[in-house]
Chain A
Amino acid sequence: MSTQTKDHAELAEIFNKDEARVNWHDETLWWVRQKRDKAAHQIPEWELLRETASQIKNNVLSNLNNYLVQFEAQAKANGVTVHWAANAEEHNQIVHSLLTKHGIDRMVKSKSMLTEECHLNEYLSQHGIEVIDSDLGERIVQLADEPPSHIVLPCIHKKKEEIGELFHKHLGTPKGNADPQFLTETARQHLRETFLTRKAALTGVNFAIAETGEFVVCTNEGNADMGAHLADIHIASMGIEKIIPQRKHLSVFLRLLTRSATGQPITTYSSHFKKPRSGQEMHLILVDNQRTVQLGRKDFRNSLKCIRCAACMNTCPVYRRSGGHSYHTAIAGPIGSILAPNLDMRKFADLPFASTLCGSCSNVCPVKINIHEQLYKWRQVLVKEGYVGTTKKLGMQAMTLTLSSPGFFKTAGKVGRFVMKYAPFAVSNPLNPWYKQREMPAPPKESFGEWYQKNRNHAK
């Protein structure tokens, strides 16, 4: 990707060029958000469920090392080989060495945002190993040579005609056919052949149970299961924060996850992997990749409670109108914007500013992460640490000056209204970032201060 030198605002500008598409993207995600509301409102105990989930996750973070040790012991007793990876590179090396050991050069993979974070596909491809993503949305973006733009709906930014074109080019479908039913059937046939011929399958992990050593993978398509149950070797990759204490806690999380994500009552498959199938090898990789650093940041550690439902993205007015790719990180949207600066403050300094701080994300989060507050706190950290550009800094300083001096504030308001009235071209031009994608409002005749002065005198 050549997107890394551009920041969120610049990338959003590219996305915003096609207004019809932006409106469609916005409306589609809002529709998903509405489905979430409908599902949540059917559960009278919804808020208590969220609170319980939040408290379970708080306990997990406060006792994580013990749960990890317990999980490892149980998984080993179940016949699963447990690996630990300090960072993305070590994770990728472990996967590569497992494949090399078995002489495997082709692998099928189901959805795993962690492997996106670790850039596993690129790494393996550099080492001569072909990876095929089996989730339909992920396969589509893989054919387009793009990263997913959404963690639950990877190709939500693509129109069906574009997908039809991709399938025509790569899978030989008739040109111009963009029927979702037909395209899905084509992918089914193409990927069935993949499932039947791959000896290694990699899956993500939604939840791992310390008490029993089992892990749970949720899909609607059945792709994780098709891969894992047909392969000689199943590799599951998980961030260390995916642990939950006991099996019964799944009842809380499985009730929340899909209702928050898509409004479904549960995914089609919630598969509990405990022991390898006879004759199969099952490997589990526990990955840190700076999660322990985030755990040490008091203001940001709660971001590790995330169960990756994407409700915060679907509801976010900035995400919906800027698209997932503008976040230039594996996990887009509000939650991604508080996870990414932990990985690299310089590279992701722009993301906590890609928000209106409206707080809708925190309101829909099934584990009650205070997302918008963390976005606000990251801004302060990033400015203090010197990762914010001078324009933004100067603007903020000018704002501070204006807002802290009543005289200056009055004058600035007058000047502003005068300029907008008599010389609108001075603000309504492409040099003013506030003018982009929107019309400037008509200037008020007077300020509230002036109006109040007048009307107070009237009343008396």
Chain B
Amino acid sequence: MQNSRDRILAAVAANKPDLLPLPEIPVFSPETEDASFILQKFHATATTIGSKIFMVKDFEEIKAMVSEQFREGRIVTTIPELADIAETDLKTIPDPHTLENIELLIMRALFGVAENSAVWVTEDLMQQRAAPFICQHLAVVLNAADIVPTMHEAYERIGSADYGFATFIAGPSKTADIEQSLVLGAHGPRSMTLFVLE
């Protein structure tokens, strides 16, 4: 394979144009710095893309809502505060295929993004990479203070963080491949619930 590598690199070097500068990303001043407006925007966008969003005071409130909505099925969490309503031993599971029958996964997100209502989740928060995709329903807990206006602030926040895998998740899995009819629940979760801790 060494051969192709060197040949490709040599061809690129020979054919590329003269060096053009790498631009700075302009500072796009967000519409507002006002936290309540940002939260409002996050809320509105989440609803538009098919997420359910609830403002909650504490974990007790989350527990009550989860118990109300999910009466049966395997509930798993990576959040220690929710240990009394869900399994918490994801880390020790050797084979991700055994996650197949998870009805609901509840996990933390590091932050959310107002412009697209995506939440940023790293591998240590999901514990198993497959978990947030294979579950039938997904719930994510984040702090109201941890919502940034746009993707620029998002990557500023991520910085040079190290992770094995991380993802932005925005809403339930979806497809519109059949005649552009939107269907929620393609291969991943059928629903996405956001619990925003005030």
Stretch of A78-86, A118-126, A387-395 lying at the B interface: A78-86
Per a CB cutoff under 8 Å, which of A183, A229, A251, A288 touches B152? Answer: A251
User: Of residues 223 to 275 in A, which have CB atoms within 8 Å of B's CB atoms?
Assistant: 223, 225-226, 228-230, 240, 245, 247-252, 254-255, 262, 264-275
Nearest-CB distance from B84 to chain A (Å)? 28
Return chain B residues, CB-CB under 8 Å to A245.
Answer: 22
Return chain B residues, CB-CB under 8 Å to A361.
Answer: none
* Residue A301 CB within 8 A of the other chain: yes
Interface size class of A (residues with CB under 8 A): 35 or more
* Residue B100 CB within 8 A of the other chain: yes
Return chain B residues, CB-CB under 8 Å to A264.
Answer: 49
Known: A56-B22, A301-B17. A225 touches B167 (CB 8 A): yes
In the complex the two chains form, what is the Cα distance from A321 to B69 in whole Å? 48
Contact yes or no, A266 B116, CB < 8 A: yes
User: Of residues 100 to 148 in B, which have CB atoms within 8 Å of A's CB atoms?
Assistant: 100, 113, 115-118, 128-130, 133-134
Return chain A residues, CB-CB under 8 Å to B25.
Answer: 52, 248-249, 251-252
- Nearest CB in chain B to that of A43: its residue: B115
In the complex the two chains form, what is the Cα distance from A274 to B124 in whole Å? 13
Interface size class of B (residues with CB under 8 A): 35 or more
Contact yes or no, A255 B151, CB < 8 A: yes
Per a CB cutoff under 8 Å, which of A192, A268, A286, A298 touches B171? Answer: A268
Contact yes or no, B8 A277, CB < 8 A: no
Contact yes or no, A240 B12, CB < 8 A: yes
In the complex the two chains form, what is the Cα distance from A96 to B150 in whole Å? 42
Per a CB cutoff under 8 Å, which of B117, B130, B189 touches A265? Answer: B117
Per a CB cutoff under 8 Å, which of A69, A180, A249, A275 touches B179? Answer: A180
Return chain B residues, CB-CB under 8 Å to A159.
Answer: 179
Contact yes or no, B16 A65, CB < 8 A: yes
Contact yes or no, A48 B28, CB < 8 A: yes
Contact yes or no, A84 B115, CB < 8 A: no
In the complex the two chains form, what is the Cα distance from A49 to B133 in whole Å? 31
Per a CB cutoff under 8 Å, which of B1, B16, B183 touches A184? Answer: B183
In the complex the two chains form, what is the Cα distance from A117 to B127 in whole Å? 36
Which label, helix, strand, loop or mixed, suits the secondary structure of the A interface?
helix
Contact yes or no, A295 B150, CB < 8 A: no
* Residue B68 CB within 8 A of the other chain: no
Known: A181-B183, A226-B188, A248-B155. A62 touches B8 (CB 8 A): no
Known: A230-B97, A272-B165. A195 touches B187 (CB 8 A): yes
In the complex the two chains form, what is the Cα distance from A229 to B165 in whole Å? 10
Contact yes or no, B20 A269, CB < 8 A: no
Contact yes or no, B175 A184, CB < 8 A: yes
Please encode chain B, from 158 to 198, with 1 for each CB lying within 8 Å of some chain A CB and 0 for all others: 10101111111111111111111101011111000000000
Known: A134-B187, A188-B186. A229 touches B180 (CB 8 A): no
Known: A247-B158, A266-B170, A269-B167. A184 touches B186 (CB 8 A): yes
Known: A226-B134, A226-B187, A251-B152. A64 touches B4 (CB 8 A): no
Contact yes or no, B165 A277, CB < 8 A: yes
* Residue B64 CB within 8 A of the other chain: no
Contact yes or no, B23 A225, CB < 8 A: no
Return chain A residues, CB-CB under 8 Å to B22.
Answer: 55-56, 59, 63, 245
Stretch of A135-143, A326-334, A425-433 lying at the B interface: A135-143
* Residue B71 CB within 8 A of the other chain: no
Return chain A residues, CB-CB under 8 Å to B23.
Answer: 52, 55-56, 59
In the complex the two chains form, what is the Cα distance from A183 to B49 in whole Å? 21
User: Of residues 130 to 167 in A, which have CB atoms within 8 Å of B's CB atoms?
Assistant: 134-137, 140, 153-156, 158-160, 163
In the assembled complex, 28 residue pairs joining A and B whose CB atoms fall closer than 8 Å, in A order, are A45-B28, A55-B23, A61-B16, A68-B9, A155-B177, A160-B178, A180-B181, A184-B177, A184-B178, A188-B185, A220-B175, A222-B133, A222-B189, A226-B187, A240-B8, A248-B152, A248-B156, A265-B49, A265-B170, A268-B170, A268-B172, A269-B167, A269-B173, A272-B167, A274-B166, A295-B11, A295-B16, A298-B17
5 further interface pairs, Cβ-Cβ under 8 Å (given A86-B8, A262-B176): A59-B20, A225-B130, A226-B188, A247-B160, A251-B152
A residues near B (Cβ < 8 Å) are 28, 31-32, 45, 48-49, 52, 55-56, 58-59, 61-65, 68-69, 83-86, 90, 94, 134-137, 140, 153-156, 158-160, 163, 180-181, 183-185, 188, 191-192, 195-196, 212, 220-223, 225-226, 228-230, 240, 245, 247-252, 254-255, 262, 264-277, 286, 288, 292-293, 295-296, 298, 301
